[in-house]
Every structure is written in C-alpha cells, then in structure tokens.
Amino acid sequence: METFDIAQKYNISQRQFEEYLQEVGAGWVQSSWGTEVMHLADDEVPEHVQKFKERIAPILEAEAQRQKALAEAEAQRQKALAEAEEKKQLALSNMLITSGFNFDGYRIIKYSGYISGDDAILIEGAVDKGVWDGWEIKDMGQALTDSLVKIRRQALKELKEAAYDLGCNAVIGVDFDYITLEPTQLTANIKHHLPYVCVTANGNAVIIEKDDSK
C-alpha cells in the first residue's frame, strides 16, 4: 500500500510517516514513472500506523499547547489594545481645551510645549457647493461652512491626540489657521490645479489638576 494512500486513509502526515518507516526499517521504495514511491505491506499498515501515532502523540500535544499559548497571548494582546484604546478615547473625551491660558478651578502643573493638529479638504468634488435648483446654486455659503466645520473638528481631534501622546490632559491658547493651497497634477501633459482648504489647530499641551485651594 502506498504511503500516500495510508496518509489519506488514517489522516496522518505522509512525510512524517515515511520518516518513521525509514527510521524503523519498514516499507520499501519503488520507482513509478520516474518518481520514487514508498510502500508498506498491507498487513503491516495498522500496526505501524498505531506505533507512529503513539510516537508523534507527545509532539502533537506539545504543538497543540504551543498553539494554545500563542492564541492566549494574542487574545491578551488584543484585550490590552482594546483597553488602551478605551482609555485613550475616555481621556480624549474628558480633555479640556481653551483659547485662553487657564481653567477656572484648575491649576497648570506642567507645560509640555506647542502642538498642532491639521486637516485639509479638496474643494473640487469634496466640498458640497450647494443645491442647483435649475437657475442658480442655493445655500453655497452654508455648504462651504459645513465643510469647514468638518475639517476644523478633525484638526481639533488631532490636536487632542497630540496632547494625549505627550501625556497631557488639556490644551491652552487654542487658535486656528486657515490657508489655501493649489498643487498641480499633470494628466496627459495638462496641468490641473487642485484647490485645497487647510486648517491647523494650534495650542500648548499642559497637565492640569483640580485646585482645592479655591
């Protein structure tokens, strides 16, 4: 019986079974169409399969334990990442920001430096320019304002994340800078101007704590 058929019938590794047979001196190799094929006498198959399974059982158990340990370690890693993300989101939601330089009822115990958060949006195609009613575009101003609100909020989010990365829980002196950029894109030897509106939220990252003296 060919070892290929044995492996299929008993759901074992052909390579490992052949290595076992070579080690115990069982079976024989026969050439078939230029390929060496290993055989084992039919009446010897059950005995050697049983011995093979007994031999590799500790190896399979060790591998199973290794895979289990890896799975548990990955689960712990994912849990730690989820807890860290939850902690971060809670800290960001509680982070205080102000255009001033202090918070009532708090005192600043550490200044960590100037930080910024940026966002940009392509005006052409990305910014909703209003509704066409057949005669003229309506509500263009509102549509542009809504788009600016979106990128300003994103810039603030990045500003908070920059503060969080520095271990801070507040940002003071917050203001916004707006600029427009028109980089060019070359398509079929034709230059296209791509107008962007960019916003930068600036501030100083600080650590604050409750002032119990007030």
User: 66-78 pLDDT, tens per residue?
Assistant: 999 999 999 999 9
Angle at 27 between CA 21 and CA 29, to 5 degrees: 105
3-class SS of residue 103? coil
**pLDDT band with cut points at 50, 70 and 90 for residue 92:** very high
155: amino acid identity, one letter = A
pTM exceeding 0.75: no
Supply the pLDDT for residue 213. Answer: 75
| pLDDT for residue 116 is more than 80 | yes
Beta bridge partners of 132: 137
Averaged confidence pLDDT in the chain: 86
Out of 18-27, 89-98, 109-118, 191-200, least confident range: 191-200
- Percent of the chain exceeding pLDDT 70 equals 84
